[in-house]
């Protein structure tokens, strides 16, 4: 059951709800002396839990009846066809109280020495990715197939087809969890739990969860899977036969009757276990009504909910730990916190298909605390900042405060954008803004963000790339202390010590033309005077510019590995150019070499001080010192020519 105490949290789960503010906002001065709306002066968002299923039903019906029309609940009729999910249609039991939680501790996981881990935003928080390793075994998911490779014996141990969809996994000890978002119309999430003792993949259980996958994070041996569950395909709304007034009135009347006839089980997320040979178990609700809540500002149809899996108890089904009646877009998790960002429903944005928005969107923040073992959640506080977020890197906790980087839209000053960092802190049941820095890159949007202890870095872009350096050591008085404008822009920033930041992004000209992907190094030892000390052009495109998991930094040797687009200028030899290895020594960045495979390299990891790269075609191992090949473990790809037979 979700409790409603208000302590300063040991760990916090926060749900962010992006939307329009009230009209109570008042301007504050930005760094350049202009005015900007101040989210701390607007109405503070609140959050309310439900005491029982009747309360869930009453609230949902009331919100529906405010908005239902001849085409149902949506603005555009073509968006509301009644498609059906293959897996979740049919009857199910009514929702109940929240299930009991298992209190066993998480599994321990320590990779072999000289082994890298997934490139994550926060230390000790694993993120779902397509490659995992413990140093001896490498697990990969490419083209809907999971494989395990034994590096010690240069052997492919096992491979299993996964459900069609986008998959990511986390590894803890001898347990491997795979989350797959299916490609059907309702985008359900399938959780496959594998035992990987001795590196061999053995399926423990498979559960189907209703909702599209938002994120997978693992803390303390527990995996938290965040999903958006839409119930629109379960509601039998009608549409008018034609555009006549009588037809519109009849359709609206029928849709009101549909809303009044709904039961709570019509929209609470569902789950079932998949048995042997694809048989389906009994469908049931995935989360109890008392674990659900809603924001004070209506934030869209559906349920954003978190399923928690204890990897030390692989036979136990996922547990729905918290849910909010809203729709999510991204998450951020630290060892103490989880933040879920959602887009608030704005009834005023469109009227007769014409935008009527007059104010910048706001992001509402609802905070929940984890229990010590990260298995239960307690509501803490709610707050609000102006603007919208780029991604999970837009958020960071430090020294008891939450930093949030946003792009806002200043409709009162020519319709341009403004960018800022807002700092919030829990005060009773409120998450108050205690400090802010605005005025970064007016007319531009944030392309990259990274927080590093008391310092923050923000990249905006229009024609050139301003890198802003922020001093956040005093959360009540944050300062913009440095700025550097260079062509192009950075999308991923990696602080590697107190003095240097490695970035991945796109190079460009002074006029804003993008010329290709690059790695750059900035000296920030003097935060008031950041300097770009090195760059390396790597390709026309690199997956690392859009997915930080594709970036490898190995500090022990100063090596950087990034994949690039496949370049096959010749056949024979060792394949096509597919990744670049760079060496950073002080402020000097040099290219050490390029790696070749017949298929695009998706990830690079270090295992027992050796470089391992993974593609759909195989797993290759190279020496770190000179990149000489040690072994190449090839995969059979159905429908392709064997590599040994290529000219």
**Residue 313: inside a domain:** no
Q: Which of 318-322, 392-396, 556-560 has the highest mean pLDDT?
A: 556-560
In degrees and rounded to multiples of 5, residue 397 shows phi and psi of -100, 140
**Residue 490: inside a domain:** yes
What percentage of residues in the chain have a pLDDT greater than 70? 81
Residue 363 CB partners (closer than 8 Å, separation 6+): 16, 17, 18, 19, 341, 384, 385, 386, 387, 388, 389, 404, 406
Position of tokens 């969809």? Answer: 165
pLDDT of residue 357: 55
Q: Give the pLDDT band (50/70/90) at residue 486.
A: very high
Taking the C-alpha atoms of residue 520 and residue 260, their distance in angstroms, rounded to an integer, is 59
- Residue pair 179/306 in contact (Cβ under 8 Å)? The answer is no
- The alpha-carbon radius of gyration of the chain (Å, integer) is 25
- CA proximity to 636, closest of 132, 150, 156: 156
pLDDT of residue 516: 94
Q: What's the mean pLDDT when you consider all of the chain?
A: 83
pTM of the predicted model as reported, rounded to 2 decimal places: 0.86
Give yes or no for residue 383 having a pLDDT over 70: yes
Give yes or no for residue 591 having a pLDDT over 70: yes
Q: Which of 101-105, 297-301, 443-447, 607-611 has the highest mean pLDDT?
A: 607-611
Strands 430-440, 377-386: pairing kind: parallel
Q: Give the pLDDT band (50/70/90) at residue 280.
A: confident
Query: In 134-221, at which residue ranges do the beta strands (DSSP E only) sit?
Result: 137-142, 145-150, 155-161, 165-172, 175-182, 189-195, 202-209, 212-219
Domain count of the fold of the chain: 1
In degrees and rounded to multiples of 5, residue 643 shows phi and psi of -60, -35
- CA proximity to 418, closest of 399, 433, 436, 401: 436
In eight-state DSSP terms, residue 311 is T
**Residue 326: inside a domain:** no
Give the dihedral sign, CA 362/231/95/183: negative
CA atoms within 13 A on the CB side of 482: 20
Taking the C-alpha atoms of residue 28 and residue 35, their distance in angstroms, rounded to an integer, is 5
Taking the C-alpha atoms of residue 602 and residue 109, their distance in angstroms, rounded to an integer, is 24
Question: Of residues 88 and 394, which shows the higher confidence score?
Answer: 394
**Residue 286: inside a domain:** no
**Residue 450: inside a domain:** yes
Average pLDDT over residues 326-353: 70
- CA proximity to 369, closest of 322, 423, 405, 302: 322
Give yes or no for residue 570 having a pLDDT over 70: no
Query: In 336-442, at which residue ranges do the beta strands (DSSP E only) sit?
Result: 337-343, 350-351, 354-355, 361-370, 377-386, 395-398, 401-410, 416-427, 430-440
List, for residues 390-425, the tens digit of each pLDDT value. 999 999 999 999 999 999 986 554 557 899 999 999
**Residue 183: inside a domain:** no
In degrees and rounded to multiples of 5, residue 383 shows phi and psi of -155, -170
Average pLDDT over residues 495-511: 93
Which residues, in sequence order, are bridge partners of residue 424? 402, 433
Which residues, in sequence order, are bridge partners of residue 351? 354
Average pLDDT over residues 137-156: 97
Query: How deeply is 33 buried, as exposed, middle or buried, from its count of CB atoms within 10 A (0-12, 13-18, 19+)?
Result: exposed
pLDDT of residue 97: 42
**Residue 394: inside a domain:** no
Reported residue count of the chain is: 647
Q: CATH number for the domain including 469?
A: 2.40.128
Taking the C-alpha atoms of residue 125 and residue 339, their distance in angstroms, rounded to an integer, is 13
In degrees and rounded to multiples of 5, residue 182 shows phi and psi of -70, 165
pLDDT of residue 360: 73
Average pLDDT over residues 481-491: 94
- Residue pair 405/419 in contact (Cβ under 8 Å)? The answer is yes
Give yes or no for residue 538 having a pLDDT over 60: yes
**Residue 448: inside a domain:** yes
pLDDT of residue 552: 99
Q: Which of 81-95, 118-132, 158-172, 505-519 has the lowest mean pLDDT?
A: 81-95
Q: Which of 19-23, 303-307, 614-618 has the highest mean pLDDT?
A: 614-618
Q: Determine the structural domain holding residue 520 and report its residue range.
A: 444-540
């Amino acid at each position: 059951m979700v409790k409603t105490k208000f302590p300063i949290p040991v760990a916090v789960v926060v749900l962010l709800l992006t939307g329009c503010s009230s009209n109570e906002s008042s301007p504050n001065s930005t760094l350049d002396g202009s005015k900007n709306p101040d989210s701390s002066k607007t109405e503070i968002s609140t959050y309310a839990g439900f005491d029982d299923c009747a309360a869930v039903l009453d609230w949902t019906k009331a919100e529906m009846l405010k908005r239902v029309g001849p085409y149902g609940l949506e603005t555009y009729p073509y968006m509301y066809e009644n498609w059906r999910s293959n897996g979740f249609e049919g009857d199910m039991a009514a929702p109940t109280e929240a299930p009991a939680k298992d209190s066993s501790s998480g599994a321990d996981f320590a990779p072999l020495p000289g082994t890298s881990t997934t490139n994550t935003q926060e230390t000790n928080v694993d993120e779902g990715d397509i490659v995992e390793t413990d140093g001896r075994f490498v697990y990969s998911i490419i083209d809907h197939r999971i494989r395990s490779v034994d590096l010690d014996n240069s052997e492919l141990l096992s491979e299993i087809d996964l459900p069609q969809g986008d998959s990511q996994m986390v590894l803890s000890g001898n347990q491997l969890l795979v989350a797959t978002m299916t490609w059907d119309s309702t985008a359900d999430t399938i959780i496959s739990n594998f035992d990987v003792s001795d590196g061999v993949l053995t399926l423990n259980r498979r559960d189907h969860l209703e909702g599209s996958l938002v994120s997978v994070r693992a803390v303390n041996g527990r995996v938290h899977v965040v999903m958006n569950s839409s119930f629109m395909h379960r509601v039998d709304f009608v549409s008018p036969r034609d555009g006549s007034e009588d037809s519109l009135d009849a359709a609206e009347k029928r849709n009101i009757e549909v809303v009044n006839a709904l039961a709570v089980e019509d929209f609470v997320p569902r789950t079932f276990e998949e048995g042997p040979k694809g048989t389906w178990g009994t469908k049931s609700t995935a989360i109890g009504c008392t674990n659900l809540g809603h924001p004070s500002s209506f934030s869209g149809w559906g349920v954003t909910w978190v399923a928690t899996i204890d990897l030390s108890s692989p036979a136990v089904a996922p547990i729905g730990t918290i849910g909010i009646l809203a729709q999510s877009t991204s998450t951020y998790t630290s060892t103490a916190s989880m933040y879920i960002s959602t887009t608030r429903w704005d009834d005023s944005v469109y009227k007769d298909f014409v935008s009527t928005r007059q104010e910048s969107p706001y992001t509402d923040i609802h905070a929940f605390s984890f229990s010590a073992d990260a298995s239960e959640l307690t509501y803490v506080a709610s707050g609000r900042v102006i603007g919208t977020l780029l991604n999970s890197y837009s958020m960071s906790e430090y020294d008891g405060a939450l930093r949030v980087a946003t792009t806002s839209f200043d409709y009162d000053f020519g319709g341009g954008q403004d960018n800022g960092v807002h700092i919030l802190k829990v005060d009773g049941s409120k998450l108050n803004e205690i400090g802010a820095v605005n005025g970064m890159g007016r007319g531009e949007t944030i392309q990259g963000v990274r927080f590093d202890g008391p310092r923050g870095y923000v990249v905006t872009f229009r024609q050139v790339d301003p890198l802003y350096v922020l001093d956040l050591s005093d959360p009540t008085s944050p300062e913009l202390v440095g700025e550097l404008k260079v062509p192009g822009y950075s999308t991923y920033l990696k602080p590697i010590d107190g003095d240097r930041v490695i970035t991945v992004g796109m190079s460009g000209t002074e006029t804003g033309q993008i010329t290709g992907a690059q790695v750059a190094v900035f000296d920030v030892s003097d935060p008031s005077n950041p300097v770009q000390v090195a760059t390396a052009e790597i390709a026309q495109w690199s997956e690392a510019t859009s997915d930080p998991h594709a970036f490898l930094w190995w500090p022990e040797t100063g090596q950087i590995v990034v994949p690039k687009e496949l370049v096959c200028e010749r056949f024979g030899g060792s394949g096509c150019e597919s990744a670049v290895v760079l060496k950073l020594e002080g402020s000097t960045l040099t290219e050490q070499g390029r790696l070749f495979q017949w298929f695009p390299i998706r990830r690079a990891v270090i295992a027992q001080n050796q470089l391992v790269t993974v593609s759909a075609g195989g797993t290759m191992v190279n020496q770190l010192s000179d990149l000489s090949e040690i072994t190449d473990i090839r995969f059979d790809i159905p429908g392709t020519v064997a590599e040994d037979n290529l000219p």
